[in-house]
Amino acid sequence: MLTGSILLTAFLAVSPSSSSDTIRTERLEEVIVTSNSARQRVMSVQAGAEQLQLKELTSAPSLFGENDIMRAIQLLPGIKSESDASSSFQVRGGTAAQNLVLFDQSPVRNVGHLAGLFSAFNDDALGNATLYKGLLPAQYGGASSAVLDLTGRTGNKQGLHGGASIGLLSAKATFEGPIVKDKASFLITARRSYMDAFLKLTKDFRKNTLYFYDINAKLDWTIGRRDQLFLSFFTGRDRTAIEDKIDIRWRNLAASLKWLHHFGGDSYSQSTLLYSDYKTDNGIDFLGMNLWFDGHIRQASFRQDFHIALDRHELDAGLQSSILNVKSAEWQFVNKHEKEQRRAWENAAWVNGIFQLSPRLTASAGIRLSMFSPLGGSLYYDLEDNGEIAWYYNYGSNQIVKTHLTIEPRASLNLSLLPSPSTLHPQPSTLSLKLAYARTSQNIHALRNQNTSTPFDRYTISSNIVKPEIADQVSLGLFGMTPNQAYDFSIEGYYRKVRNVLDYRDGKSFSSEIEIERLILPGEGKGYGVEFSARKNTGRLTGWLAYTLSWSKTRIDGVNQGRWYNASNDRRHDISIVGNFKLTDRWSLNAAWIYYTGQAFTAPSGKYQIEDNWVYYYAERNGYRTPDYHRLDVSAVYRSSEERGKRKEERDYLEGRRRRRVKTEWVFSIYNLYNHYNPFLINFEDSQNGARTKAKQYSLFGIVPSVSFNVKF
């Protein structure tokens, strides 16, 4: 939350001078966003970290006309989407389940609506976002791959503002303003899909349900000169039901209360209470068959952060203590009722320093201690080699079953190869060499049959059997920018090794056993690659080119004869080209082209007959590749004239008029312009006599045009 705090600090610092001047506040906001771009990428000591420019990201063409931060992230170097249907992302060979997404410090799981077509986050609610590609400063933990740290936007303290937007499938509205002018503000934004309204109008579908909604609310209260309180709340829900026969529901809830205290200078402390609850609930009921299963991940935490700013150095230290409650699944079927639910106590303490060792050399070094203790109250067991239960342990409630201690060193070094800014050349060319290493660990493990996150994923925690997943990553990169940040580029290589990754035993699926540990085997993973990016940041044409060459592999005793195999997310080449052209004051055009090598998948290598059925023989895991993926998305945005609006607003301001400026925006977008059907699933079909095996590719989206309308005041 360091970056978030810095930004908030910046806002706090400017607020006295901005008084009630909303125009100037907005302008300051824009300056801050710009100054965080190329300079941040090149100068920041933290390698593999990207402070996301939300404006730039959300201007990329979108599916169904909905600005979506998660899909925009997928366009960055080293980041891959899970699939066409997913808003989850994969970083440097990690899986989406190895990422941690924080919203105002509360974890949010399964970050998609409608099976991932939309991300869980309404972009109107977002203030700041930083993505760490596995090289985390010590303040962050709990993820063996990336951390996406999102900070909710706070409301305007000077005047009431709002906005509304209607897209092809959903609509949203935002309202913000002061509770006590210059002291306290609120922001509330809500989004809901409206397809179900049309379902109700049809004879065949009127008894079906298909919707999602999310609500973000944030209150902030400045108490005196040094203290500020933030209360943040987020919930998102999804429901798909076919009459009264099938019901699939899941929801996320994340809430936090934060007290920010400034000691003076740039030093501060942050005390946060947070709560997170992810829940799925699914059932069917027809023809006398009634069954239900549900699961959850609940977390309640206290977190304390200290940030000490010394002359040229900074120090962050803190601790976090959490109680976790994970129910992998609770199944009810006729007379049978099974559940696996476990609790754990998780503690972490960290210290991280940023030291300016010389004008050209900055170092960040830290250490994080992670302690994870599964608690008794439910059954634990030992397993035979074949996955059968050998022995049960019945620990008392709250009794510690085992404590996993992980010591996680973190380090990053930035050596400036060209002169730093001076008064004579405030924005010279800059070139930096960054070297970084981080060890991270994860104790909540997701198990999924496919690459795509779904509400049917099962989760387990580290236990007496399952060990923490531990990742070590090292990276080396060269980052440069031209004078005035007009262009910047980077080339970064990484190597990542992960211990205790989990995968299914052969022949097991997510429901083969209630005890999730009986389904899985531990192994190791590795990923390495090079990421290249080039950006143009100024002028009428802006955008970036990102290319990643990467490998991702897994090895598990008992799977693929114990040999290394390509991970499901292994893709050799990955290219995104994103462009934004400001045609006129009112019109801007955007385009994004995405290409990646087909991903690894398992195909049969032989066939035989059992019970008069043709059955496939699998000789290797992920030994084949799907066809390559590529598509072009374009959009055109028509805005009410910004320049004219601003001039009018300034004139009104100078003349003391308080007229509200209304901004409107039409977004016309086309997803997959040249209608290329990309692989989503490959299936095999045979004739009854086993001849003529056909591999069939199924695709999700062809060309999808959409339009959305936004209004802001």
Partner 1 sequence: MFFRGKRKEERGKRILPSTPLAHGTAAERTAAGVISFLFPLSSFLSKTPFLLIFLLISCEKEITLDYHQVEPIYVVEAALSNTNTTIRISQTNNMDDNSSTSTVTQAKVTISGSDGTNLTIPHNRNGFYTSTLRGTAGIEYTLNVDLDGHHFTSTSTMQKAPMLKSFRFVWMKAASERILLGDLRLQDIMNEDNWYFLHIYRNGIGYRWAVMRDEQNPNKELQQLFTFFREGSNDSDVLQEGDQLRILIRAIDQRAYDYLYSMQLMDNTGTNPIANFTGGCLGYFSAYHQIVYNCTYHAADAEEE
Q: Any idea what DSSP says for residue 400?
A: B
Of the candidates 9, 15, 209, 332, which one interacts with partner 1 according to CB under 8 A? 332
Q: Which contacts qualify for 599-604: CB closer than 8 Å, 24 or more apart?
A: 599/451, 599/568, 599/569, 599/570, 599/571, 599/625, 599/626, 600/565, 600/566, 600/567, 600/568, 600/570, 600/624, 600/625, 601/568, 601/625, 601/626, 601/682, 603/682, 603/684, 603/695, 604/684
Half-sphere exposure (CA, 13 Å, Cβ side) for 612?
Answer: 0
* Residue numbers 612-641 binding partner 1 by CB under 8 A: 612-621, 623-624, 627
Of the candidates 230, 293, 372, 544, which one interacts with partner 1 according to CB under 8 A? 293
Per-residue burial over 91-104, b = 16 or more CB atoms within 10 Å of its CB, e = otherwise: bbbbbbbbbbbbbb
> What backbone phi and psi angles, to 5 degrees, belong to 443?
-120, -5
Compute the least distance from the CB of residue 705 to partner 1, in Å. Answer: 13
Q: What is the C-alpha end-to-end distance of the chain, expressed in Å?
A: 30
Tell me: does residue 474 bind partner 1 (CB under 8 A): no
Half-sphere exposure (CA, 13 Å, Cβ side) for 335?
Answer: 0
Tell me: does residue 687 bind partner 1 (CB under 8 A): yes
Compute the least distance from the CB of residue 376 to partner 1, in Å. Answer: 25
Of the candidates 298, 508, 536, 646, which one interacts with partner 1 according to CB under 8 A? 508
Stretch that binds partner 1, among 98-106, 130-138, 372-380, 692-700 (CB under 8 A): 692-700
Tell me: does residue 322 bind partner 1 (CB under 8 A): no
Of the candidates 391, 396, 423, 696, which one interacts with partner 1 according to CB under 8 A? 696
- Judged by CB, which is closer to partner 1: 121, or 211? 211
**What x/- string results for residues 433 through 452 when contact with partner 1 is judged by CB under 8 A?**
----------------xx-x
**Alpha carbons 276 and 254: distance in angstroms, whole number:** 4
What six digits make up the tokens of 52? 């996301």
Tell me: does residue 603 bind partner 1 (CB under 8 A): yes
Stretch that binds partner 1, among 144-152, 324-332, 425-433, 634-642 (CB under 8 A): 324-332
* Residue numbers 40-79 binding partner 1 by CB under 8 A: none
Specify the 3-state DSSP secondary structure of 118. Answer: strand
Torsion of CA 464, 369, 494, 364, to 10 degrees: 180
Tell me: does residue 411 bind partner 1 (CB under 8 A): no
Tell me: does residue 204 bind partner 1 (CB under 8 A): yes
Of the candidates 159, 178, 283, 705, which one interacts with partner 1 according to CB under 8 A? 283
Rg (CA), the chain: 26
Half-sphere exposure (CA, 13 Å, Cβ side) for 114?
Answer: 21
**What x/- string results for residues 665 through 684 when contact with partner 1 is judged by CB under 8 A?**
------------x-xxxxxx
- Judged by CB, which is closer to partner 1: 398, or 511? 511
- Judged by CB, which is closer to partner 1: 145, or 280? 280
Compute the least distance from the CB of residue 324 to partner 1, in Å. Answer: 21
Match 């899985």 to its residue by tokens. 520
Stretch that binds partner 1, among 69-77, 126-134, 154-162, 597-605 (CB under 8 A): 597-605
Match 């000077």 to its residue by tokens. 158
589: CB partners within 8 A, 6+ apart: 580, 581, 583, 634, 635, 636, 637
* Residue numbers 130-189 binding partner 1 by CB under 8 A: none
Tell me: does residue 227 bind partner 1 (CB under 8 A): no
Of the candidates 16, 264, 392, 611, which one interacts with partner 1 according to CB under 8 A? 611
Compute the least distance from the CB of residue 292 to partner 1, in Å. Answer: 7
Greatest CA separation for the chain = 87
Tell me: does residue 213 bind partner 1 (CB under 8 A): no
**Alpha carbons 180 and 186: distance in angstroms, whole number:** 10
Binding-site size, partner 1 (CB under 8 A): 98
242: CB partners within 8 A, 6+ apart: 208
Compute the least distance from the CB of residue 464 to partner 1, in Å. Answer: 23
**What x/- string results for residues 243 through 262 when contact with partner 1 is judged by CB under 8 A?**
x-xx-x--------------
* Residue numbers 450-469 binding partner 1 by CB under 8 A: 450, 452, 454-456, 458
Closest CA to 74 of 119, 141, 25, 134: 119
- Judged by CB, which is closer to partner 1: 355, or 677? 677
- Judged by CB, which is closer to partner 1: 27, or 206? 206
